[in-house]
């Protein structure tokens, strides 16, 4: 298997990280990880996965727009859609770090396997895990959508703009 070459357009001194996800929708938990990951990266790319297999509520364009709106105040963060192999996308961005958030021990097994596979595919790319803050450990997009679909109060888990988008969908 040929090794992928890290993009040469970004100097090695720049710490570029990619935080991938479906963001269907972006929640307070995602925002927590983004704000914390931004501290150790010179540039953070929030990568919105096409991921049609998950059957997202929002289209890729809607999710990119929603995430872009939520991150308008972050000067070192950019939003990009992707539909390729994650390590290929990371290399294309000139990044060397994948950021993944962990809410509970149940997340770890899947994330550990994915990090191991990515390390085999692209050993020059590191995966960094950030534990969710205590106030966000229980928040997931899936639960937010389910609560919202059933008429429950989702305001504590998403921004007012995302809340409005969810209400419009339901």
Q: Write out pLDDT tens, residues 94-134.
A: 999 999 999 877 788 889 999 999 999 999 999 999 998 88
- What percent of the chain lies above the pLDDT cut of 90? 76
Whether 43 is a known active-site residue: answer no
Task: Band the pLDDT of 55: cuts 50, 70, 90.
Answer: confident
Indicate if 5 belongs to the active site: no
The active-site residue, picked from 141, 145, 163, 165, is 141
- Identify the pLDDT of residue 9: 45
Helices and strands in the chain, H and E counts: 6, 5
pLDDT score of 35 more than 80? yes
Q: Are 30 and 58 in contact (CB under 8 A)?
A: no
Q: Which of 54, 142, 149, 167 is catalytic?
A: 54
Please identify which of the residues 15, 36, 80, 103 carries the catalytic annotation. Answer: 103
pTM value surpassing 0.85: yes
Q: Which of 30, 96, 163, 165 is catalytic?
A: 30
Is 35 marked active-site? no
Please give the pLDDT value at position 108.
86
Q: What is the pLDDT of residues 2-23, one digit of tens each?
A: 444 444 444 445 899 999 999 9
State the average pLDDT over residues 144-157.
94
Cβ(136)–Cβ(26) below 8 Å = no
pLDDT at 144 over 90: yes
Look up 163 and say whether it is catalytic: no
What are the start-end ranges of the E strands in the chain? 16-21, 43-49, 77-82, 97-102, 126-131
User: Class of the 16-137 domain?
Assistant: alpha beta
């Amino acid at each position: 298997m040929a090794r992928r070459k890290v993009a040469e357009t970004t100097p090695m001194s720049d710490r570029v990280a990619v935080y991938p996800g479906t963001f269907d929708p972006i929640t307070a938990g995602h925002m927590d990880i983004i704000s914390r990951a931004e501290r150790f990266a010179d540039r953070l790319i929030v990568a919105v996965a096409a991921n049609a297999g998950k059957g997202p509520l929002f289209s890729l364009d809607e999710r990119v727009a929603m995430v872009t709106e939520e991150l308008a105040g972050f000067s070192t963060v950019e939003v990009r859609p992707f539909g390729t192999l994650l390590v290929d996308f990371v290399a294309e961005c000139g990044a060397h770090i994948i950021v993944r958030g962990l809410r509970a021990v149940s997340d770890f097994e899947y994330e550990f396997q994915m990090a191991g596979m990515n390390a085999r595919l692209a050993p020059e790319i590191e995966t960094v895990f950030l534990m969710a803050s205590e106030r966000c450990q229980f928040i997931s997009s899936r639960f937010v959508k389910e609560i919202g679909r059933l008429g429950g109060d989702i305001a504590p888990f998403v921004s007012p703009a995302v809340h409005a988008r969810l209400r419009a969908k339901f």
